Amino acid sequence: MKKARIYKSLFIISYTVAVFCAGILSNKYLFPFLYRTFHTPVVSVLMSTFNRAQALPNAIESILEQTFTDLEFIIIDDGSTDNTWNIIQSYAKKDPRIIALRNKRNKGLIYSLNRGLDVARGKYVARMDDDDKSVPFRLERQVWAMDENPDIIVLGTGIIGANDTPKHLYSYPLINNPDEVELDSYFSSALAHPTIIIRRDFLEKNHIRYNPKYLYAEDTGFYKSVLEKGGKISSISEGLLHFGYVRNLIKPEKYSYIQAETFKQVQKEKLAPFFDAPYEILGAFNSSKDKCTMLTNMITPNKKLKILNQEVLEKRQKAICTKENLIADSIEAIHTSWNDYIHVDEKDKTFFRVSVPSETGKIIKEDASTVTVKWTNYGTEVFTKEKGGKTWRFKEGI
């Protein structure tokens, strides 16, 4: 009896010591190496940066301060020549969730993102850009949505301006129709790249990485690869990323031109099964007339190919082609990122973009020379008015 009590006491003591030691050894701050070795995070956040010392603190802190904490943060310095690497190292010393990598020389975003994907261990991979700022509950909402929708492979979110206040649009993040988002990808990037979260096992199973041939439009090529392998892409409408939080950052020379041309290449490849699209109608910011032409040419072949949801395709074609008639009564909007027509309801000052009717908003201030508009998902912007108020030219975001 005495021996049994002794053995029981020894077992309790041994178990207590083991649990205590395990707790100490797995503490991410005391033993970061062991923590990384034995703990697999739910989310791997992936960010590449190059000479962005002024922007980095906001971007890094917005991830470290997420309400969802079970993550690793892979930050790749793509051969910076400023203080970028020192900043990354200083944060890595404070938080063991940061995995700091450095390219010996500048090798570009696509190389860096692929390097990060090779290192990532999480169930999900979330993208982040170095001049943006994630809303504190961004990852919490996206992980929740992905866990509840296992058929979604890539999930983006809406974006908001630097000074806009984030909010939950719904108690639970609602998923936009994947068939509609897939159709969107034929005419735009469909998902804002720095907002996306991805199922890593799908990438590994299908050997998907960013394609170097899609320079500066790597996201559209990436979504194309996912869709070709049978994956679904979607988004939640609420704005969970402050887009362009740090402004006036220099992009590579001819960036916009190369990006536009690359997108046309991706677009032509995607349209090839339907018809040989002439170059002059291609482009991410093409007119609703060009979009109408493309959609019309896709309808009949798709009945046989079944690449897209036929009902969604026909509904979109009807909507876009019908809205061509709205242009005569609409306002021409000239933006730094897009050109379109805005149809305004004069009664309540609400409006929508003719080519992208889901982008709605409201006029919150107007005078003789400017108009201030509040987009439902994309923040507040100021336009100057020209030609008797029938042309709006983007002035600034607020």
Give the DSSP per-residue string, 167-215: --SSSSPPBP-HHHHHHHTTTS-SS-GGG-EEEHHHHHHTT----TTST
Confidence of residue 67 (pLDDT cuts 50, 70, 90): very high
Q: One-letter amino acid identity for 191?
A: L
Confidence of residue 219 (pLDDT cuts 50, 70, 90): very high
Whole-angstrom Cα distance, residue 267 to residue 224?
10
CB 327 within 8 A of CB 342: no
In angstroms, the Cα distances linking 55 to 78, 115, 193 are 15, 22, 18
Give the DSSP per-residue string, 221-267: HHHHHHHHTT-EEEEEEEEEEETTSS--PPPPTTHHHHHHHHHHHHH
For the ranges 224-228, 260-264, 314-318, 343-347, the lowest mean pLDDT is seen at 343-347
Higher pLDDT: 172 or 13? It is: 172
Whole-angstrom Cα distance, residue 354 to residue 360?
10
Residue that is written with structure tokens 């990323």 in the block: 241
Higher pLDDT: 165 or 57? It is: 57
For the ranges 116-130, 266-280, 332-346, the lowest mean pLDDT is seen at 332-346
Whole-angstrom Cα distance, residue 131 to residue 53?
10
For the ranges 58-72, 139-153, 267-281, 322-336, the lowest mean pLDDT is seen at 322-336
Residue 17 has pLDDT above 60, yes or no: no
Q: Where are the domains of the chain?
A: 32-242, 272-327, 330-397
Average pLDDT over every residue of 96-103: 97
In this predicted structure, what is the pLDDT of residue 50? Answer: 95
In this predicted structure, what is the pLDDT of residue 170? Answer: 77
Confidence of residue 130 (pLDDT cuts 50, 70, 90): very high
In this predicted structure, what is the pLDDT of residue 242? Answer: 94
pLDDT tens by residue, 335-388 = 987 888 898 887 778 888 887 877 889 999 999 899 999 988 778 999 999 988
Contacts 24+ apart (CB under 8 A), 264-269: 265/213, 265/214, 265/217, 266/214, 266/217, 266/220, 266/221, 266/224, 267/186, 267/187, 267/220, 269/224
Residue 154 has pLDDT above 90, yes or no: yes
**Residue 323, SS3 per DSSP:** helix
Confidence of residue 79 (pLDDT cuts 50, 70, 90): very high
In this predicted structure, what is the pLDDT of residue 5? Answer: 67
Compute the mean pLDDT over every residue in the chain, rounded to the nearest whole number.
Answer: 89
Structure tokens at 192: 């804002």
Q: What whole-number percentage of the chain has pLDDT above 90?
A: 67
In this predicted structure, what is the pLDDT of residue 209? Answer: 98
Q: Provide the whole-model pTM.
A: 0.77
CATH of domain 32-242: 3.90.550.10
In angstroms, the Cα distances linking 107 to 11, 77, 87, 103 are 56, 10, 20, 7
pLDDT tens by residue, 21-60 = 555 544 555 556 565 667 899 999 999 999 999 999 999 9
Q: Which of 260, 181, 291, 187 is nearest to 226 (CA)?
A: 181
Average pLDDT over every residue of 162-177: 86
In this predicted structure, what is the pLDDT of residue 161? Answer: 87
Cα 207 to chain centroid, rounded: 21
CB 201 within 8 A of CB 187: no
Higher pLDDT: 71 or 349? It is: 71
In this predicted structure, what is the pLDDT of residue 156? Answer: 98
In angstroms, the Cα distances linking 24 to 20, 27, 28, 29, 34 are 6, 5, 9, 10, 10
Higher pLDDT: 8 or 122? It is: 122
- Collect all residues with Cβ–Cβ distance below 8 Å to 363 and sequence separation of at least 6: 344, 349, 350, 351, 371, 372, 373, 374
